[in-house]
Amino acid sequence: MRIKFVSAQLKQKGTIAVFVSAKGSLLSSATKLNEKTQGALKRATSNEGFSGAAGQALVINSPNGVNASKIVLVGIGEGKKLTISAAQAAGGKLWSLIEKSNDAVLIVDPVQGSALSVAEIAANMAYGVLLKSYRFDKYRTKEKRKDKPTLRTLSVGVRDPAKAKKAFDPLQKISNGVFFTRDLVSEPANILNPENFVTKCRALSKLGLKMQVLTETQMKKLGMGALLGVAQGSANSPRILAMKWNGAPQAREKRPIAFIGKGVTFDSGGISIKPAGGMEDMKWDMGGAGVVAGLMYALAARKAKVNAVGIVGLVENMPSGTAQRPGDVVTSMSGQTIEVINTDAEGRLVLADAMWWCQQKFNPHTMIDLATLTGAIIIALGYHHAGMFSNDDDLSLKLIDSGKSTGELLWRMPLAAEYDKQVKSQIADMKNVGGRDAGSITAAQILQRFIRGDVKWAHLDIAGVTWTNENKPIVPRGGTGFGVRLLDDLVARFYEKG
C-alpha cells in the first residue's frame, strides 16, 4: 500500500473517508459531502445511532450525488481528546474499513479543541493505517485473492500536504522498524536460527549501521560460559551481534546508549523441557532481540542524532546429549559463577554475558535490556503492560512517559536486597532461579548483578506483550513489535543531541 499526501478534494471514484466528531457533528468536508448527497450522511448517522465517538465508524455504500463507491465516516470524539494516540487508533480503525477498496482518500480537516495541527492529525492517522495494515503471509500459498487486502493507494487530503508529509516521513521509517521486528518474531524457528537472524540484520548495513558478530569460538575466548551453556545442546551455534549507530554530532556525548535483546530463537526449555501444549509459541522467545533490531533500523533510517548500540544474544535452547543439565555450574564472562537449577531459566544467562560484553566493549552511559524473560510477569501484569525494573529513578520516569506517549505501557516493579536471598546458591555465586514467588523480580535481581559502575540500567520483561491473539487498534494479531516505538520515542525526546 502506498500512502501519499494531496490537496484536500472530494472527487474520488473509490472510497472517501471523512471525520465526524462527538454528538454527530460533521466536520467541514463531511458537511460538503452531506450536501452533495442530499443529506445522506445526516440520515445515516441518525438511523444508525452513530454519535461520532472515538472508535466508531459508519459505511455508506453507493451514495447518490458523488462518484465514490462508498463513504466512511470516522468518529473522532471530542476535539480535546484527539491526541496522537487517538489519531493513530482512528487510522487503525479506518484500515479495517478500506482494506478491500482499490483506492481511498482520507480528507483531514482541522479539529476544533485538539492540540494537534491538521498536519499532525493527517500524519498520525496515516501512521495508524500503516501500522494496522501489517500482514505476515509469506507462507500462505493457498489464500484466495478475495481474502487479501486490495488497497493500492491511500491519498490523504490535507490543507498543506507538504507539511503533513514532512511529519509522516519519520513515522514511516519507524513503522519500517516495527515491521522488521514483527517479521522476525513471526518467522518459524526452522527458518530463523541464530545465524539466519544475523544474516537478516546484515541487510541493515545499507542504512549506515556498523555490524560486529561474535562466533562461538570468539565467545569461548571471552569466557562467555553463561550464554554458551544455554547453546550447547543445539546443533545451531550461537552468535552475538552488535549493531552500532553513530549519529550524534562529533562534539557531543561519545558514550552510547545501549539496547540489549534476548534472542532465544527457539526455547524448548532444554533438559527442563516445557509442556508440549503451546511450545510452538517459543519461536518468539527472541522477541527482545527482534525489538532491538527493529529499533536500530528505525534510528538509522531516520538518522537519529544519537550514538546507540544494539546487541543481541542469539542462541537456541534444545535438549540433547550435549545439553546443559540442572545442577551444572557455569562461569560468566564477568567471572561470577551461576548454578543452573532450571535450564528453562536461560534468558538471564544469555543476557548476563551479552550485557557484560556490551559494557566492556562500548562503555554505555545507559543500558536497557528487553526479554521475554518470565511467565511470572504475565501473572502479575497480564497482557497490557510490560514489567520494568531499574536502578535509576530518572530513567524509569522517562521510560514510563514514553510508554504513555506511544501506548506501549510499562509498570515499574521493585528491586530490593531482600530478594537476593532467594537466588543464593550453596555452591556458586548465585543460582539461576529463586523459586515461584516473585519470579520476575528475582530474575531481574540476577541481571542487576551484571551492571557495572555508573551505568544506568532498565530491564523490560516483555513476555506478555510480544505476541497478541486479539486485534488491537494499531496492532493486528501476531507479533506486536512492542518496544520499537517506545524506545524510539525515548531516544527522540531525551537522548538525541541537536
Q: Which are the catalytic amino acids?
A: 274, 348
Provide, for the chain, the percentages of residues in helix, strand and coil under a 3-state DSSP scheme, each rounded to the nearest 5. 40, 20, 40
| 431: CB partners within 8 A, 6+ apart | 338, 339, 340, 341, 423, 424, 425
Cell of 49: 445511532
| Collapsed DSSP state (helix, strand, coil) of residue 41 | helix
Three-state DSSP state, 62: coil
In terms of Cα–Cα distance, which of 321, 351, 323, 320 is closest to 338?
351
| Spatial distance between the Cα atoms of 83 and 64, rounded to a whole number of angstroms | 34
312 vs 291: CA distance, rounded Å: 10
Question: Which residues are within 8 A (CB) of 47 and not within 5 positions of it... i.e. 6 or more apart?
Answer: none
CA distance 414 to 259: 21
> Looking at the chain, how many residues does it have?
498
**Could you give the CA distance from residue 496 to residue 238 in angstroms, rounded to a whole number?**
33
Distance CA 448, CA 458 (A): 9
Task: Find the distance separating the first CA and the last CA of the chain, reported in whole Å.
Answer: 33
User: Is the backbone of residue 84 left (phi > 0), alpha (psi -120 to 50) or beta?
Assistant: alpha
Q: In 454-466, which positions are buried (b, 16+ CB within 10 angstroms) versus exposed (e)?
A: ebbbbbbbbbbbb
CB 394 within 8 A of CB 301: no
Residue 210 has what DSSP assignment?
E
- DSSP H helix total and E strand total for the chain: 15, 20
What is the grid cell recorded at 56? 466508531
Q: What 3-state class would DSSP assign to 293?
A: helix
How far is the C-alpha of 201 from the C-alpha of 73, rounded, in Å?
41
Residue 440's nearest CA partner among 384, 389, 369 is 389
